[in-house]
C-alpha cells in the first residue's frame, strides 16, 4: 500500500530540488567525460526535467529510465520517493508484459520438450519476479523517505533476485533463435529492473544531497564500526562459544529451541509437527504428504522430522510454505533422491530433486542427491531460492550442477557438496562455512570446476563465498587427479563474484586456479578472489592474470565477504540453530 507523502520534508524538498538536482546532473556530466558513458546519455538527460535527470543519472539505461518516469515530468511536488515508486511500478508492468510476450513466443516457437519446459519455467520465474518487485514497491510506499535508505539492503536483495529470475528464464532456452526472441521480449523488463536497482543503490547519496536525515544512519555507522572491530578482534571467542554449548547449539538459543532442534526419534524432548517414515512408523509415508499438511496462517515454525530412508520423490517447498524446519537422522541415512537431468529433456531449473523456495527454510542432518550420473549433464540435487535459508550437517551429491544456489541469502555449515562441472552455481548471496567440497571423477574430456557464479549486474548483492572449507578429490579421482584438470571455478556471467578464503585446497587444483568460460568473456569484469588459503593447491604464484582476479591482502577487504556484512547473518542466523561465526576464522 502506498504511503502518504512527507509533510515535514515536503517544503524543504521543493525549495532545494532545483539547486541540488543541478549539482547532481552537473557532477554526473563531469564524470561522464571520463567514463564509458557516451554523449547520447547526456542528451537524454538534458532533454528531460531536472528531477527526472537526477533520478536517472546513475542508471545504465537512461533513455528507458527517462521514458518510464515521463508522466511525472511536470509534477513539481514529486519527491525522490515518488520517483522510486513510479520506477518500480513501470518495471512491474513491463515484467507482466514480457511474461505474456515470452509465453506467446514459446507457445508458437517451442518445438521440443526442453523448449516447452523452458517456456513454463519462464512463467513461474517471472511470477516470482513480480512478487519481489511488488514487495519492493510496498516497502518503499510503507516507509517515510528518510527511512528508505535503511531498507536499501533488503530492496537490493529483492531486486537482485528479480534480475536472477529474468536471466534464468532466458538461460532455459537452448535454441539460439528462440532464446534471442525471448531475450528481446524481456528487454524492456530487464532494463527497467536494472535501472530500479541502480536508483536504489544510490538512494543514500540522493538523500544526503537533499540534506534529508537517513533514518538511524549515524547510529548504524557507529554500530557497523563496532561490529567490524568485534569481528576482527573477537571472532575466535565467538566461535568457541558456539561449540561449547548444549548439543552443539549456541548459548543464546533458548533452551526450548535447543531441545526442538536436537530432537530425535527416540523419545524426542519436543515433538515435531510432522513425522515422516517410509516404514509406516510416522504420521506420513512421504515428505510431500507432510508438506501438504502445512497449516494455513502458520505462526512460528513448521517442524518436519524425516526418519531414515531413501525418499525417491521430487520435493518443492513452495513460496507460501515459509519457516519450515526439516531434519533427518543424518545425511547418509535420510536422503532425498532423484534423477531428472538435461539429457532427458529436463531444464536445469526443473531437474532438482529438492527445491526450497519458501523463505526461512532450514534443513539439518539430511542428504540431497541426483543420481543421473555424469552422462546426465545438468542434474541438480538441491535448488535453493529461499531467503534466509540455512543448511546444517547436510550432503548434496551429484555431478554437474549439484547445488543450485539460485537467489537470496543462504548459509551452509558443516555440509558436504560433491560434483564435477560447475557443481556449486547460481546467483545467490551464499556462504559455505566449514564445509567439505569434493571434486568427483568426470566423464572423459571434461574438467572439474567447483563453482560457476551467475551475477549479471555489478550492483547485485550476490556472490559465492567459500570460507574455512576443504576442497579435495574423491577416491576415484585421486589416482588421476593430475591428468584431469580441476579448477576453483569459472565466470558464468559478466559480473560473476566468488571468494575462497581461509580454506584448505588440495594439490589437485590447477596452478592457474581458475579457468575462462569462453574466450575473454568476463575476465575483466568478474570479481574472483582468494584470501588466507592453505594447502598445496593454495599457492597463488602461478594464478591467472585476469583483471577480475586478485589475491586479497587487506584483512578489511576480506571482512566484507564474511557472514555479518555479506548476508546480514547477525540479524537472522541466530534463529536457525546452526553454529556459525560472523567474521573471519583467523
Q: How far apart are CA 334 and CA 9, in angstroms?
A: 57
End-to-end CA distance of the chain: 46
CA 450 vs. chain centroid, Å, equals 17
Listed in sequence order, the residues at least 6 apart from 26 whose beta carbon sits closer than 8 Å to its beta carbon are none
- Cβ count within 10 A of residue 127: 14
422 is catalytic: yes
Here the contacts of 250-255 (C-beta below 8 Å, separation 24 or greater) are 250/574, 250/577, 250/579, 252/574, 253/574, 253/577
Nearest 5°: CA angle at 97, between 104 and 351?
60
For the chain, helix (H) and strand (E) counts, in that order, are 18, 26
Q: How far apart are CA 239 and CA 218, in angstroms?
A: 29
Q: Are 194 and 60 in contact (CB under 8 A)?
A: yes
Cα separation values, 549 from 431, 526, 533, Å: 19, 7, 15
Out of 422, 444, 507, 554, pick the active-site residue. Answer: 422
Q: Are 582 and 562 in contact (CB under 8 A)?
A: yes
Listed in sequence order, the residues at least 6 apart from 490 whose beta carbon sits closer than 8 Å to its beta carbon are 422, 449, 451, 452, 514, 515, 516, 517
Q: Where are the alpha helices (DSSP H) in 283-426?
A: 287-292
Q: How far apart are CA 244 and CA 70, in angstroms?
A: 60
Three-state secondary-structure class, residue 436: strand
Q: How far apart are CA 460 and CA 194, in angstroms?
A: 9
Q: Going along 446-548, which residue ranges are E strands?
A: 448-453, 463-467, 470-473, 486-489, 497-501, 504-505, 527-531
Q: How far apart are CA 2 and CA 140, in angstroms?
A: 8
**Sign, CA torsion 508/342/363/467:** positive
Q: Are 140 and 155 in contact (CB under 8 A)?
A: yes
Q: How far apart are CA 45 and CA 571, in angstroms?
A: 40
Residues acting as catalytic residues:
422
Amino acid at each position: 500500500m502506498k504511503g502518504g507523502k512527507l509533510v515535514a520534508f515536503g517544503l524543504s524538498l521543493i525549495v532545494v530540488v532545483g539547486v541540488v538536482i543541478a549539482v547532481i546532473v552537473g557532477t554526473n556530466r563531469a564524470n561522464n567525460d571520463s567514463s564509458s558513458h557516451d554523449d547520447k546519455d547526456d542528451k537524454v538527460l538534458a532533454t528531460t526535467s531536472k528531477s527526472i535527470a537526477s533520478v536517472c543519472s546513475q542508471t545504465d539505461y537512461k533513455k528507458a529510465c527517462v521514458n518510464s518516469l515521463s508522466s511525472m515530468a511536470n509534477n513539481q511536488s514529486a519527491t525522490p520517493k515518488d520517483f522510486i515508486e513510479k520506477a518500480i511500478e513501470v518495471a512491474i508492468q513491463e515484467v507482466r508484459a514480457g511474461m505474456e510476450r515470452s509465453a506467446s513466443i514459446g507457445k508458437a516457437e517451442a518445438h521440443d520438450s526442453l523448449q516447452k519446459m523452458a517456456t513454463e519455467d519462464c512463467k513461474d520465474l517471472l511470477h516470482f519476479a513480480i512478487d519481489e518487485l511488488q514487495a519492493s514497491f510496498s516497502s518503499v510506499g510503507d516507509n517515510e523517505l528518510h527511512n528508505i535508505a535503511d531498507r536499501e539492503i533488503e530492496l537490493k536483495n529483492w531486486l537482485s533476485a528479480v534480475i536472477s529470475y529474468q536471466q534464468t528464464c532466458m538461460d532455459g532456452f537452448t535454441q539460439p533463435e528462440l532464446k534471442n526472441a525471448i531475450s528481446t521480449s524481456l528487454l524492456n523488463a530487464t532494463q527497467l529492473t536494472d535501472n530500479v536497482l541502480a536508483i536504489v543503490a544510490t538512494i543514500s547519496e540522493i538523500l544526503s544531497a537533499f540534506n534529508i536525515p537517513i533514518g538511524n544512519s549515524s547510529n548504524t555507522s557507529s554500530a557497523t564500526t563496532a561490529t567490524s572491530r568485534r569481528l576482527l578482534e573477537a571472532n575466535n571467542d565467538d566461535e568457541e562459544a558456539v561449540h561449547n554449548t548444549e548439543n552443539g547449539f549456541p548459548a543464546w538459543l533458548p533452551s526450548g529451541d535447543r531441545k526442538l532442534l536436537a530432537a530425535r526419534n527416540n523419545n524426542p524432548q519436543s515433538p515435531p509437527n510432522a513425522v515422516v517414515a517410509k516404514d509406516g512408523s510416522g504420521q506420513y509415508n512421504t515428505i510431500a504428504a507432510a508438506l501438504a499438511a502445512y497449516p494455513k496462517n502458520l505462526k512460528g515454525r513448521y517442524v518436519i522430522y524425516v526418519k531414515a530412508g531413501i525418499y525417491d520423490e521430487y520435493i518443492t517447498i513452495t513460496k507460501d510454505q515459509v519457516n519450515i524446519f526439516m531434519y533427518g537422522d543424518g545425511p547418509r541415512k535420510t536422503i532425498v533422491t532423484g534423477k531428472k537431468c538435461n539429457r532427458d529433456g529436463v531444464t536445469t531449473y526443473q531437474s532438482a530433486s529438492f527445491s526450497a523456495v519458501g523463505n526461512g527454510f532450514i534443513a539439518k542432518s539430511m542428504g540431497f542427491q541426483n543420481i543421473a550420473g555424469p552422462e546426465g549433464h545438468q542434474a541438480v540435487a538441491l535448488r535453493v531460492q529461499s531467503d534466509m535459508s540455512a543448511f546444517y550437517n547436510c550432503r548434496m551429491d551429484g555431478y554437474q550442477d549439484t547445488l543450485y544456489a539460485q537467489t537470496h541469502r543462504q548459509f551452509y555449515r558443516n555440509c558436504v557438496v560433491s560434483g564435477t562441472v560447475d557443481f556449486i552455481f547460481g546467483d545467490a548471496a551464499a556462504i559455505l562455512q566449514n564445509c567439505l567440497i569434493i571434486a568427483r571423477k568426470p566423464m572423459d574430456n571434461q574438467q572439474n570446476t567447483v563453482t560457476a557464479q551467475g551475477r549479471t549486474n555489478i550492483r547485485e548483492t550476490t556472490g559465492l563465498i567459500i570460507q574455512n572449507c576443504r576442497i579435495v578429490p574423491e577416491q576415484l579421482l585421486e589416482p588421476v587427479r593430475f591428468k584431469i584438470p580441476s579448477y576453483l571455478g569459472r565466470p558464468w556471467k559478466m559480473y560473476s563474484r566468488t571468494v575462497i578464503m581461509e580454506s584448505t585446497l588440495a594439490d589437485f587444483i590447477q596452478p592457474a586456479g581458475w579457468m575462462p568460460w569462453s574466450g575473454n568473456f568476463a575476465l575483466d569484469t568478474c570479481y574472483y578472489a582468494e584470501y588466507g588459503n592453505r594447502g598445496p593447491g593454495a599457492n597463488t604464484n602461478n594464478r591467472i592474470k585476469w583483471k577480475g582476479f586478485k589475491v586479497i591482502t587487506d584483512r578489511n577487504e576480506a571482512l566484507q565477504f564474511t557472514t555479518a556484512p555479506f548476508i546480514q547473518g547477525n540479524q537472522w542466523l541466530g534463529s536457525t540453530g546452526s553454529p556459525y561465526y560472523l567474521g573471519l576464522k583467523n
